[in-house]
Amino acid sequence: MKITEKMKDRVTLSFEVFPPKAEEGMPRLMGVLDNLYSWSPDFISCTYGAGGTDKGRNFDIIRAIAAAGRAIPVSHYTTIHHTREDIRRDIDQYLSIGVNHFLALRGDFAPGENETHGDFGHATELVEFLKKAYGDRICVSVGSSCEGHILCRSLESDIAFLRRKQDLGADYIVTQLTFDMDQFRRWLDAIRAAGVTMPIVVGVMPVLSRDACIRHCLSMNGCAIPHKLARHISTYYNDPEGFTEAGKEYTVEQIYEYVNCGVNGIHLYTLNKSEAMNDILARTGLFSKE
210 vs 93: CA distance, rounded Å? 40
**Residue 249 near residue 277, CB atoms below 8 Å:** no
Three-class SS state of 20: coil
How many Cβ atoms are within 10 Å of 86's Cβ, its own excluded?
A: 13
* CA nearest to 105, candidates 19, 47, 32, 166: 47
Q: How many helices (H) and strands (E) does the chain have?
A: 11, 8
Instruction: Name the pairing type of β-strands 172-175 and 200-204.
Output: parallel
Q: What Cα–Cα distance (Å) separates residue 40 from each residue in 34, 55, 224?
A: 10, 26, 32
DSSP letter (8 states) at residue 266: E
Instruction: Name the pairing type of β-strands 265-269 and 12-17.
Output: parallel
40 vs 53: CA distance, rounded Å? 29
φ, ψ at 177 (rounded to 5°)? -65, 145
105 vs 174: CA distance, rounded Å? 11
16 is catalytic: yes
Q: What Cα–Cα distance (Å) separates residue 183 from each residue in 142, 145, 177, 269?
A: 20, 11, 12, 20
From 16, 147, 156, 257, the catalytic residue: 16
First to last CA, the chain: 21
72 vs 258: CA distance, rounded Å? 22
Q: Which positions are annotated as active-site residues? A: 16
